Chains A and B, each alone.
Chain A
Amino acid sequence: MRRTVFPHKVLPWLLLAPQLAITLIFFYWPAAQAFRQSVLKEDPFGLSSTFVGLANFRKVLSDPNYLNAVQVTVVFSLLVAFSALAIALFLAVQAEKIIRGKGFYRTLMIWPYAVAPAIAGMLWLFMFNPSFGTLAWPLRQLGIDWNPLLDGDDAMALVVAAATWKQISYNFLFFVAGLQAIPKSLLEAAAIDGASRRHAFWTIVFPLLAPTTFFLLVVNTVYALFDTFGIIHAVTGGGPGKSTETLVYKVYNDGFVNLIMGDSAAQSVILMVIVITLTAFQFRFIERRVHYG
């Protein structure tokens, strides 16, 4: 606790005013509206609305299209989070062994972080589009019937690849930092006891990395759920045939393209509950890891 402070009473409010105004107008008010609309039903002309309790939620949760979106989201997020973590951890472990040239590799590894998700999706579409994609071409030469514009599984593979690619940079930097924080003496002790490097990795390094991995798992899940909207919107538009329609894409599509308000609000509220749960997880963990002064 700080002993010395400035005595002003009005100045701090002036300093806080811009941020508070923005949060109230653009965050809290709309969030409250989402809650309100989620329990209302508007008449077809949008003139009046009646309270319908949880009817919108019941409707959303029994809608096969919504359940499809839930399934797509789960598959997509698991694939993205797992691949992005596994590849980044593998590369970070390799980078740790290297003495010369570490900085050079790191510089090249962080590029995708700066690429917008929508553009990441387009880059992968350029490479893999069935008509002139250079990497789709060998697939076809091999007789593989590859067409992400028509086949749902191919489309999923493409958006997963683009989303994973973009997230490797971020995970790599965290794993490198995590690995550097592991005391070398532990590994030396293991070696004296005759442990192989592989054995030492799974019994010492990997468990000690658990906090980093867990933190990244939450961040990657949030990323896969929310930040990949651009990839899906730019590459597949949720298709073909809703095979890549995630929850966030659907909430956008229902609210903006199909203009179904009550449903869209109920979907927003469900998403809000998901984010709150994930963020709470994340900060419980951070509280334990970081010691605030």
Chain B
Amino acid sequence: MAESVQNPMAPSGLSRTMAHFWMVLGVIIVAFPIYYVFIASTHSVQTILRPPLPLLPGPEAAANYGEAFSGGVGRIGGVSVWLLLGNTTLIALGIAIGKIVISMASAYAIVFFRFPFRMACFWLIFITLMLPVEVRIQPTYKVMVDLGLIDTYAGLILPLIASATATLLFRQFFMTIPDELLEAARVDGAGPWRFFKDILWPLSLTNVAAIFVIQFIYGWTQYLWPLLVTNSNEMNTIVIALKKMISFADADTPWNLVMVTSVLAILPPILVVVLMQRWFVKGLVETEK
């Protein structure tokens, strides 16, 4: 980076110090709610219920987490925390992978083949952006009932894997693949599958990673859809289970276990975003939306 000596607009030392000050304040505000629930998860119910909460982790961490994993959460919500995490992981992975598979297939068809109504198909997929679940709740629910998809994993995953966003992104990316590459592959006798497997897939990996992060988060944080299409506690995602734990909150609520469950609901998607940050930021900013 060109250093600041010649650049008269470069921030002065003071202005840079102030910038750090504001960023630290911003980060504290942004991270505090997450830190707070983590701290709460390491204290006893008595400490949690007597504000203000200490700002440092307490002595009950092992006890709280141990209890949550050995059936404590099951006693409040009826379902073990393992099943909740399993359900949520399955749904998030199902949605992320499902979206990538069917969007890549659609984009591949639209870019590398010529057939009637090609662009009509593209628009048909694209316009689904304008039809979020919220605007068609009731009739979509009826379709789910008619197809027997209530309280099934298929019902939780399938209707959410159509993706205008991912299809649009893959289409754009495939269009940047030079014609010569396809010509060369065809001269060598490669069919559609060989071309995809040996050439296109390796080139697409960055985009796939970016979409995977965004859609994994999308799947993990689903709320309205699981609320609509599941009745049985066995099908709960961890987010829905947490909401149910809190709505029965009364004097006897084991808040320490609620806090542990919150941490477990927050941690996996945060890890995915932080560890795959490079692809996530690229995917979000460059492709949106």
Contacts and interface: CB of A to CB of B under 8 A. Distances in A.
The residue among A27, A120, A276 with the most chain B CB atoms within 10 A of its own CB is: A27
B20 A25 contact: no
Given A118-B223, A230-B223, A11 B262 contact: no
B113 A6 contact: yes
B23 A105 contact: yes
A101 B134 CA distance: 40
A114 B273 contact: yes
Q: Ordered nearest first, which 6 A-B pairs have the shortest CB separation? A: A116-B221, A33-B139, A230-B223, A30-B139, A12-B109, A114-B269
B161 interface: yes
Given A98-B19, A116-B221, A119-B266, A26 B243 contact: no
Given A22-B162, A34-B139, A233-B243, 17 more contacts: A2-B111, A3-B179, A13-B115, A19-B106, A27-B128, A94-B18, A114-B220, A116-B223, A118-B242, A119-B242, A165-B30, A169-B30, A174-B284, A187-B9, A264-B137, A275-B131, A293-B175
The residue among A11, A116, A200 with the most chain B CB atoms within 10 A of its own CB is: A116
Given A114-B273, A188-B8, A279-B130, A134 B124 contact: no
Interface string A120-143: 101111110001111011100000
B85 to A, nearest CB: 14
17 contacts: A12-B113, A19-B103, A19-B163, A20-B106, A23-B124, A30-B136, A31-B135, A34-B136, A34-B138, A37-B139, A105-B23, A108-B27, A118-B243, A123-B262, A132-B50, A174-B285, A184-B9
Contacts of B159: 22, 25-26
A256 B270 contact: no
Contact of A110 (B134, B273, B288): B273
B56 interface: no
Interface stretch (A48-56, A57-65, A72-80, A247-255): A247-255
Contacts of A29: 139, 143
Interface string A20-50: 1011011111110110010000000000000
A111 B274 contact: yes
A214 interface: no
Interface string B1-38: 10000011101000110111011001101110110110
Contacts of B108: 15
A25 to B, nearest CB: 6
Nearest to A251: B137
Contacts of A28: 124, 131
B227 interface: yes
Interface string A238-279: 000000000010011001100001001100110110011001
B132 A226 contact: yes
B224 to A, nearest CB: 5
B199 interface: no
Nearest to B191: A6
A19 B246 CA distance: 37
B145 to A, nearest CB: 12
Contact of A234 (B27, B102, B118, B243): B243
Interface in A63-106: 87, 90-91, 94-95, 97-99, 101, 105-106
A209 interface: no
Contact of A108 (B30, B51, B102, B255): B30
A144 interface: no
Interface in A1-17: 2-6, 8-9, 11-13, 15-16
A25 B284 CA distance: 28
Contacts of A234: 223, 243, 246
Contact of B105 (A16, A124, A188, A293): A16
Contact of B130 (A87, A265, A275): A275
Contacts of A122: 242-243, 246, 262
Contacts of B86: none
B105 A272 contact: no
Contacts of A265: 138-139
A148 interface: no
Contacts of A116: 220-223, 239, 265, 269
Contacts of A101: 20, 23
A117 B274 contact: no
A113 B89 CA distance: 18
Interface string B183-221: 100100001100100000000000000000000010011
Nearest to B129: A279
Interface in B90-118: 101-103, 105-106, 108-115, 118
B227 to A, nearest CB: 7
B19 A107 contact: no
Contacts of B19: 94-95, 97-98
The residue among A6, A29, A101 with the most chain B CB atoms within 10 A of its own CB is: A6
The residue among A15, A91, A229, A256 with the most chain B CB atoms within 10 A of its own CB is: A15
